[in-house]
A and B are shown apart, each in its own frame.
Chain A
Amino acid sequence: MARPGRRRQPMGARRRRPHGNVPGGEPMGRGRAAGGAFCSASAGGGRASLAPLRRPRRASLASLSAALAARPSRPSPPSPPRSMAGLGGGLAAFGRCTHAVVRALPESLCRQALRSVAGPEVDFARAEREHQLYVGVLRGKLGLQVLELPADESLPDCVFVEDVAVVCEETALLTRPGAPSRRKEVEAMKRVLESLNLNIVEMVDENATLDGGDVLFTGREFFVGLSKRTNQRGAEILADTFKDYAVSTVPVHDSLHLKSFCSMAGPNLIAIGSSEAAQKALKTMQQMSDHRYDKLTVPDDAAANCIYLNIPSKGHVLLHRAPEEYPESAKVFEKLKDHMLIPIANTELEKIDGSLTCCSVLINKASEL
């Protein structure tokens, strides 16, 4: 539980190139994705080939297929449709994911975790079981390399890793969470992201706050909810970090995060809750966007938070809330014929405002060529 003091820097953001200084000494396992005691690498589903992490040679995540095709013969003639190379590869690459960062639950979460609404206490055992199931799906079923950070009892909310890092392509923005009690969660995340050779940007501006839960990346642009946890300055730094993309702000009033009532359910598909606030936010997003998104409206706001993945061997994969929790919403999801649907229960963490996306940071490292 060593918690080195947070570094303060005068500038709003500090950018570090991956190969650069890795603070705290040990660059975590370069070859093996996982490093340290807290990381457990798994090589399920034939993703082994991705394991060796080298300095990325390709600028961006080319569509995986392209990457794979290119890998064998180094000087391979470039395929014309490589247009997807930069900028997230457009829709085809959306949802691609090789790694996931998760963090174990501290027992302190039952009593000390922040919660917006007082309510029944979290059943820790059940929470753990649900979380293990969650990680198991990512690792076992979907074959991602899951990097699991150990819990930190002093950080009761540390399981919600999403809030402390926004990763897009090769760049990771370490946030400055809106809740002061959570700011130290960033450190562990930083280490593990560095181990993945990502370009890391830290948000060190004292005036900026940003929770990853307020950041919706659609594959084409960012929406940043301006909530209690996220402010304008935080959004600006995000915009500076991901210069390629438009970053639009969306006021969020009634919920904790923007993604408390929405998420991406497909390359061009926004899942959205039915509450007035959710619908209003959606309108805002639609107005702000040059693109036209399809939307999937579900009756329950909480159920609108789902995880979309594009796994080469499995196609569209959607992790959504279990029918036992939100039967009506589950029915809506079940209409998605093209998706491989994986219901996941999240009853306990929900009590402390946790949702599906909160518990992981998804990373696509397609750069080993």
Chain B
Amino acid sequence: MLREEKWLVSQFPSSRSTTPLLLITSSVCILGCAFLSSASKVLCCYPVVIVDITLQIKIPTEVKVSVVIMTTEVGSETEVKKDSEQLGPDKAKDKPEEASETPGDQKSKETFSGEAQDSSVPAPTNQSSPSSQKKEKSSPESKGISRFLPPWLKKQKSYTLAEPKDEPKKKATGEEQVVEESESQALEGVAQPRKSLEEATENRQNAKAGDKEKHSISSAEIQPSKEDGKETEVEEVAEKKEEKQEEKEKRETKEVQTAEIKIDNVPQKSPKKIKTVQCKVMLLDGTEYSCDLEKRARGQVLFDKVCEHLNLLEKDYFGLLFYENSEQKNWLDSSKEIKRQIRSLPWIFTFNVKFYPPDPSQLTEDITRYFLCLQLRQDIVSGRLPCSFVTHALLGSYTLQAELGDHDPAEHSSDYISEFQFAPNQTQEMEEKVAELHKTHRGLTPAQADSQFLENAKRLSMYGVDLHHAKDSEGVDIMLGVCANGLLIYKDRLRINRFAWPKILKISYKRSNFYIKVRPAELEQFESTIGFKLPNHRAAKRLWKVCVEHHTFFRLLSPEQPPKAKFLTLGSKFRYSGRTQAQTRQASNLIDRPAPYFERTSSKRVSRSLDGAPMGISDQGLVRDFSAAGGQAAGDKIIDLEAAGQAKLKEGGREEDESPLKTPQLEFTQDGKVEYEEEEAQQKRHASRAEGPCTGVSDADKSSHETLDIVEEKKQAEFGIEETLVVDETNKGKMQVATDAGETCKVEHVSKKDSSSLPSDSSSSSSSESEDEEVGEYHPHHRAIEEVIREEQEEEEDMKRKEHEENTQHVEAIPEGSKPVPVEHTQVTAEDLVQENTITVATEEKNLSEQIKQDVGEEKEEEQLKLNGDVSHVDIDVAPQLICCSEPPVVKTEMVTISDATQRTEISTKEIPIVQTETKTITYESSQLDGNAVGDTGVLVSAQTITSESISTTTTTHITKMVKGGVSETRIEKRIVITGDADIDHDEALAQAIKEAKEQHPDMSVTRVVVHKETELAEEDED
């Protein structure tokens, strides 16, 4: 631990002043901060990293402990404050300082320290200021152990300050010493990390009071860590016991108080954060379901609860809606936090059918059909689903049969029907007709009646069509309807166009415009893009999302991964994350439970249904079958309640710091479960609160969260690989190459972001997650073709075949994709990335090294590396627009960069092998085509990546289809990574690769060859 900690500390200064990092660190949640920062470092120093990662959790906790100690030593409450506050400035300083921070920061620092003289706020200047720290800290009372503590320890403490609150207080008193000891001795914070945040905070107080007075302290501890209470206590304590300090400290305390409050808030929220919110869900039967939700719960949590409440298994067809206003409904994204979606709206949702199954008879369970029926009845009554008089009557009669059972002349007097509502404008005549038809359904069970209802409803032309108001290019009002098969365009009630999913190449939106790019019609050559104007950009995005979801759900076999980072910059990376219809059907085939009982509520008109609708049913005596159901349902409810209660209890426990025992455990489980989310959230919160240099950056912080997360995950993955690879060097190199190749874009992107996050935050923030992104793209055909459910295309082909048979003169079917495009050209890029023997380094060297630079490198190196990195971007980046050439097929560029990636820096561990590589990039380009490439970036239509591996080579084929100025262009880029010892003849390999590429695509020409060589220069080095 020591080592790592030291390492950590040392890293900070070296790490360039990337603001994001700063933010993170500064953010109160120490865990997150420490973790993140450490992680990023870790990234850089591969081998050690692994260890670090595993330690992640430990480190922070330890830090906490140490922090406590520190405070104790200092004995000033102020410290706490400052520490916490300083976290921000502190780290900020660390980094900034190096990065030639503005004097202002330092000033502020100084002022802080000045104010809190005692508060030996661990010198922000990491290790450099130990002595000074000591002096400061060693103030009056708590000189003891702290002195002996190595400076970095102290520092670390400061990092961890924030978290501590959750931990039980009891430990605080007795264990302080222990903690100190342990720390001082082994510095193994592991055991102690447990100490709750409370401990930390209170300990600080205690510390002030001094060891002797622990008892009194303990009493103080008993009091909840409520800010007010604490503060007062603190004051008291201070007064009583520390005469000397009193003067100084008192002042400070006051100051501190405010600070503390902040601190307290933060930690409370972060670890306990389990604030609950009551949310209401309007169910399809008109009843209301309410439950308490953790404030940060994701949509899925609520949705699952509702489905459980409803006893619904085939739930993928359903979703939760929230209304911005009466008109605008939004689907709750189950993968995102509810809070972030509804913002300030009340927590009221509506449970609705989201994807109308085209064939309800394929649903497995009657209960699912029942809910679908309820939805359709709503749709009909509201007029969303128009039907003819006759159909209204027919559907109404099935409703009656399902809800009332057989018509009984005795029971059903003439007007029994008027209580029900079947249509938006219900007439006497219709009711008569319904009654008439009702009589003909004798013998149908409720489930059968529902089935009949659905069989008829599904044929309605507007069944499952989600309509959106829009204007066409000429400003004419139209409606866009999204359905299972594609996109429908209506003008008034008339369908004026239709775009089946297979016809749509791209769906995008930009501001309030919504675009679809359409495959060229049979005899046409050009794809066309059709634009629609929506009322506002939120509407456009809503429509876009609905399209993405419907396409995925109905057309794909499995959901698409969110776009890679390179698309991130283009806007929303939203993707449907649930199960597709294919998947849900599969899943529901596995449903193995007796048909659940459920009670059909009445669809009587609203006024009545509110009072006694259910009664009505039971009155009719139709519910006999369901008598059991009632009981069971009730039971379920009870269980639910219990569960909820437990949850509440837990949460309560967390919220109130008073339940000492529980907290730590909870904390841990929580950590284990939601690691990333928490961090993310915490960071966010902190960021928004952050003071000093970090203010205003919250957005950037937010935006970079996700990317950062990605990085972390990736790191872990890579590490894992490395670990295994260490054993077998050659293998390792290869494997890494493979992984890296796939992820290149991501990494690059991330690193870019990192480096630019602070200054360019505004842009990045706008481009990422927030609900407001201005643009979004979606390529329905992005994925490998086989992923798509093919019926329609097949049908098309069938049609064509038939045509052919029937009519001799018919044109041959033109295979998709090979349309006679006049200017079709292809680029085959063969990249030759050469041998890497070293354990650590992979093809991705550039990226990695880039990051390393960012984090660790010296400024010089940074620059150089950056350059290197940039180059690699250009060459490797698949983005077609980067490639444009107007010169003869000559070597267009030759860039030779020798990157000296050596990290001599402060990495203290000796085990860190560092690899030095030489990178060479040569680009050959032919210009033969491309008059049109210049200035016309074109639009990406589809992209596809295929990776294959052989012994020493990894071939990544990236196929992109672009449309430039109406001309479609297919570009195939092959990246061939040749890994191995120096023995390989790279030139030959390259030639072979090019030859193969040509053979594989005889109709295409090689336009560009980029050779990228990386040779390892030196090997490990450490510091």
- Interface residues of chain A, those whose CB is within 8 Å of chain B, are 17, 57-60, 70, 75, 77-78, 80, 82-83, 85-87, 90, 169-171, 199, 220-221, 224, 232, 235-236, 239-249, 274, 283, 286-290, 292, 294-297, 332, 369
Contacts and interface: CB of A to CB of B under 8 A. Distances in A.
A318 B496 CA distance: 31
Interface in B639-697: none
A59 B393 contact: yes
B522 interface: yes
A243 B388 contact: yes
A27 B437 CA distance: 25
A244 B387 contact: yes
Given A57-B437, A86-B459, A290-B485, 20 more contacts: A59-B433, A78-B442, A83-B456, A85-B394, A86-B390, A86-B395, A86-B455, A224-B494, A232-B491, A239-B494, A241-B388, A242-B388, A243-B386, A244-B460, A245-B461, A274-B807, A287-B500, A290-B498, A295-B799, A295-B806
A94 to B, nearest CB: 13
18 contacts: A57-B436, A59-B394, A59-B397, A77-B442, A78-B443, A80-B448, A83-B451, A86-B390, A86-B395, A86-B459, A87-B460, A235-B494, A236-B493, A239-B493, A243-B460, A245-B461, A249-B494, A297-B806
Contacts of B810: 297
B390 A171 contact: yes
Contact of A292 (B483, B493, B799): B799
Contact of A246 (B436, B440, B461): B461
A59 B492 contact: no
Contact of A87 (B397, B444, B456, B485): B456
A328 B695 CA distance: 82
Contacts of B799: 286, 292, 294-295
A322 to B, nearest CB: 21
Nearest to B448: A80
A235 B440 CA distance: 35
B441 interface: yes
A239 B387 CA distance: 11
A36 to B, nearest CB: 27
B595 interface: no
A232 B490 CA distance: 12
A249 B490 CA distance: 10
Nearest to B429: A17
Best-surrounded residue of A80, A171, A232, A243 (most CB of chain B within 10 A): A243
B459 A244 contact: yes
Contacts of B500: 287
A351 B625 CA distance: 68
B465 to A, nearest CB: 9
Nearest to A294: B802
Contacts of B393: 59
Contacts of B522: 283
Contacts of A243: 386-388, 391, 460, 493
Interface string B716-754: 000000000000000000000000000000000000000
Interface residues of B, number: 52
B391 A248 contact: no
Q: Which of B393, B492, B497 has the most CB of A within 10 A?
A: B492
A336 B786 CA distance: 36
Given A57-B436, A83-B455, A90-B459, A247 B394 contact: no
A78 B386 CA distance: 26
B951 interface: no
A199 B389 contact: yes
A215 to B, nearest CB: 13
Contact of B494 (A80, A199, A236, A286): A236
A136 to B, nearest CB: 31
B709 interface: no
B495 interface: yes
Contact of B441 (A78, A290, A292): A78
B495 A246 contact: yes
B130 to A, nearest CB: 75
Given A283-B521, A295-B803, A248 B496 contact: yes
Contacts of A80: 448
A170 B392 CA distance: 13
Contact of A58 (B437, B451, B498, B806): B437
A297 B795 contact: no
A297 B807 contact: yes
Contact of B498 (A60, A289, A297): A289
Nearest to A237: B493
Contacts of A87: 391, 456, 459-460
Interface in B460-498: 460-462, 483, 485, 491-498
B452 interface: yes
Given A86-B459, A169-B390, A286-B799, A248 B495 contact: yes
Interface in B792-846: 795, 798-799, 802-803, 806-807, 809-810
Contact of B493 (A58, A77, A247): A247
A78 B521 CA distance: 47
A235 B389 CA distance: 19
Interface in B384-423: 386-391, 393-395, 397
A59 B390 contact: yes
Contacts of A288: 495, 497-498
Given A78-B440, A80-B448, A59 B391 contact: yes
Nearest to B794: A292
Contacts of A199: 389-390
Please give me the 6 A-B residue pairs with the lowest Cβ-Cβ distance, nearest first: A246-B461, A59-B394, A86-B456, A239-B493, A83-B455, A248-B495
Interface in B770-806: 795, 798-799, 802-803, 806
B498 A287 contact: yes
Interface string B175-219: 000000000000000000000000000000000000000000000
Nearest to B497: A288
A59 B437 CA distance: 7
B795 to A, nearest CB: 5
Contacts of A283: 521-522
A122 to B, nearest CB: 32
Contacts of A290: 483, 485, 498
Given A171-B388, A246-B495, A290-B498, A85 B456 contact: yes
